Structure 1
Amino acid sequence: MSAVIFAQFGNQYDLNIRGRMVGDNNSDASFYTAGISKNIFKFPLKKGKKGVISIGIDYDYAHVNFKADNEVLEKIENLHNIGLNINYFRKLSAKWSLIGRLNPQLNSNFTDGIKGDDFYLNAFGILNYTRSKDSRLSFGLAYSNTLGYPAPIPVVSYWKRFNEKWEMGLGFPRTSVTRTLSLKSKLVGYAELQGYNGNISENIPNPNSQSNIEAERVSYRDIITGIEYRYQIKKFELRVNGGYTVNRNFELQDSNNETAYEFNMENNLNFGVGLGFNF
């Protein structure tokens, strides 16, 4: 599923490649995901006095391995997310700045081509208050299917650097503590909310044969806790992480976004890797 888009509220690398695996642990399904993000270009408005606009693209793929041998579920084993990022940053004063993003996406299994219901529009607006070079408060609103909630949610983050070794980012949907090990490496402990909402190209019968409600959408969300190791060399960064997923929810929804069928999802270990490049 898509990575949370609020890590520092932007993509600090020109190219990001990522992957993640979550096992089943007696759950009804396991997940294997991969994604790539690419910054295309950015340009200042009136030499930066009116802000900076940047454009990027995202693609995420998820393979769902269902434990049950069910022909109906085979249609939603492969889920795709294709998006365009339009980012805006403007410094309002010495201490205040604004970040905004529009993120039109196509989210679907695409078994019947592209349809209107595959289109999702995500957005967020964030105000940053920089108290000092070691302290920043960020808050705003987001509407994003990558969090698994098709509704506006609050976003808040308080970042603090205590010294050369320790810093903290306390907030929602992500909280983290970072320990700088050397000039090239860091260790990060984190907890974050992730998720996915997507259309099912061809409505499928309810896996529960006793129900006649058809499923039209896929919804997934979880909370990931873990530790990430980061190693940076000039314009390249390697990220390796492992952790534990909690509060997992995976369901099929009807046309009213109501639960048509809910899978049994147990908490489980997860592992991920990421690469960042600047050109």
Structure 2
Amino acid sequence: MSNTFRVLLCLLIFCCSEVQAQLSDLARIDYTLIPNAKSNVEYSRFRALFNYPIKLKDDNTYLFLGLDYSNIHLRSEIDFPFNTRDLNDFQLLDFSIGYTTPLRNNWRLGVRFQPGFSTNLVADALSIKDVVLSGTIAFIKQGKKYNDKSTRLILGVTYGGNSGFNFPLPFVSYYKKFRPNWSYNLGIPKTNLQYYFSPKHRLKAYAQLDGFTSNLQREVPIIDGEAAESINLSLILTGLQYEYHFTKQLQFYARAAYILAINNELRSDNRDPIFSLDNEAKIYLRSGIKFKI
């Protein structure tokens, strides 16, 4: 069984993604840490994004313009058999263009295109290899609310050029609030179960994908004459998230998760893996604040 097939199988069974959240977040700042407990590499990420909505018509048709920036740092506790000076810091920047408009029978179309770059910025200028493209197209149907119960169906497809999973993923989601203090979201690639302690306090059990892909502007010579031209980190994890809602739109969140699968590797020009940096990390932590629609 190939590594790609294993990853796809895990996605269909476990995964959750932040695609839906990115479609509704107007601004977000968060910090992620994968400590080096039981592993040799520590991973940290600072991320900030914003989307500015522009109303185009009176029927709730909007254009969204935004930026999504990440600074990623890798720190190793051991010496690898090659020079790692170009493997410490990575910069990711996406320019986001989104569009949403209502359709017939309570359906809504959502489209997002994200050109950008993902690189370690050790050269004097950007190149075409630093460029990444991402995008999402989704059809959303909001069900009717009845006795504080609501449903939502989303059908679509998404692709993230710097997400750590460089292939298109189906985007299928069914959300239901089945009791005043319980809701669930089932689908591909997102699944969670949420409990509402109060309007301000919530706890969510979830599964999620995370990771990144970045170009290496200078080739990193590896053993046996091979050279790495990109780095890829992909994670499949599950855990708990606590949320504190200051208002309906503004919230703080903190996550603690167990890493089910990790793949942290250097790749050749044609994306073949040539060296594994670390695949033993098990703890994943994240906290942040966001403003939603």
TM-score in terms of structure 1 length = 0.90
Corresponding residue number in structure 1 for 2:3: none
Quote how far apart the aligned CAs of 1:11 are.
3.3
Quote how far apart the aligned CAs of 1:170 are.
1.2
In 2, Cα distance between the equivalents of 1:169 and 1:46? 31
Corresponding residue number in structure 2 for 1:92: 103
Corresponding residue number in structure 2 for 1:7: 20
Corresponding residue number in structure 1 for 2:274: 260
Correspondence for 1:162 among 169, 173, 178: 178
Corresponding residue number in structure 1 for 2:234: 221
Corresponding residue number in structure 2 for 1:251: 265
Correspondence for 2:72 among 62, 67, 74: 62
Corresponding residue number in structure 1 for 2:137: 125
Corresponding residue number in structure 1 for 2:153: 137
In 2, Cα distance between the equivalents of 1:267 and 1:28? 8
Quote how far apart the aligned CAs of 1:4 are.
4.5
Q: Secondary structure at the match of 1:72?
A: coil
Quote how far apart the aligned CAs of 1:146 are.
4.2
* Contact in 2 for aligned 1:145/1:195 (Cα 8 Å): no
In 1, Cα distance between the equivalents of 2:22 and 2:68? 15
* Contact in 1 for aligned 2:42/2:75 (Cα 8 Å): yes
In 2, Cα distance between the equivalents of 1:130 and 1:64? 41
Quote how far apart the aligned CAs of 1:26 are.
3.0
Quote how far apart the aligned CAs of 1:273 are.
0.7
Count, aligned residues: 271
* Contact in 2 for aligned 1:63/1:79 (Cα 8 Å): yes
Corresponding residue number in structure 2 for 1:180: 196
Shift in CA distance, 136/236, structure 1 to aligned 2, threshold 3 Å = closer
Q: How does 1:45-56 map to 2 (within 5 A)?
A: 45-48=56-59, 51-56=61-66
* Contact in 2 for aligned 1:66/1:73 (Cα 8 Å): no
Corresponding residue number in structure 2 for 1:23: 35
* Contact in 2 for aligned 1:4/1:147 (Cα 8 Å): no
**Is 1:105 matched with 2:116?**
yes
Shift in CA distance, 58/8, structure 1 to aligned 2, threshold 3 Å = closer
Shift in CA distance, 43/4, structure 1 to aligned 2, threshold 3 Å = same
Corresponding residue number in structure 2 for 1:241: 255
Q: Secondary structure at the match of 1:93?
A: coil
Quote how far apart the aligned CAs of 1:161 are.
0.7
1:129-148 C-alpha deviation (Å, 9 max, x unpaired): 33433112212111113432
In 2, Cα distance between the equivalents of 1:246 and 1:30? 17
Q: Secondary structure at the match of 2:84?
A: helix
**Is 1:276 matched with 2:267?**
no
In 2, Cα distance between the equivalents of 1:131 and 1:105? 35
Quote how far apart the aligned CAs of 1:200 are.
0.5
**Is 1:77 matched with 2:88?**
yes
TM-score in terms of structure 2 length = 0.86
* Contact in 2 for aligned 1:37/1:58 (Cα 8 Å): yes
Q: Which amino acid aligns with 2:131?
A: F
1:69-106 C-alpha deviation (Å, 9 max, x unpaired): 34622211111111111111111123211111101111
RMSD, aligned CA: 2.0
Quote how far apart the aligned CAs of 1:195 are.
1.9
Any unmatched runs of 5+ in structure 1?
A: none
Corresponding residue number in structure 2 for 1:114: 126
Quote how far apart the aligned CAs of 1:267 are.
4.2
Shift in CA distance, 59/171, structure 1 to aligned 2, threshold 3 Å = same
Q: Which amino acid aligns with 2:68?
A: D
Q: Which amino acid aligns with 2:141?
A: Y
**Is 1:194 matched with 2:222?**
no
Quote how far apart the aligned CAs of 1:36 are.
0.5
1:155-195 C-alpha deviation (Å, 9 max, x unpaired): 21111111110001112222111111111111111101112
In 2, Cα distance between the equivalents of 1:174 and 1:29? 28
In 2, Cα distance between the equivalents of 1:219 and 1:121? 16
